[in-house]
Amino acid sequence: MVHAAVPHSKPVPISIPVRDLVPWAVFAGVLALILIYFVGAEQGATSLISGNYVHEFVHDGRHLLGFPCH
Instruction: List pLDDT tens digits, range 22-54.
Output: 999 999 999 999 888 877 777 766 677 777 777
The pTM of this model reads 0.59
Q: Give how far Cα 7 sits from Cα of 3, 4, 11, 45, Å.
A: 12, 10, 13, 69
- CB contact set of 62 (below 8 Å; sequence gap of 6+): 39, 40, 68, 69
Q: Are 69 and 44 in contact (CB under 8 A)?
A: no
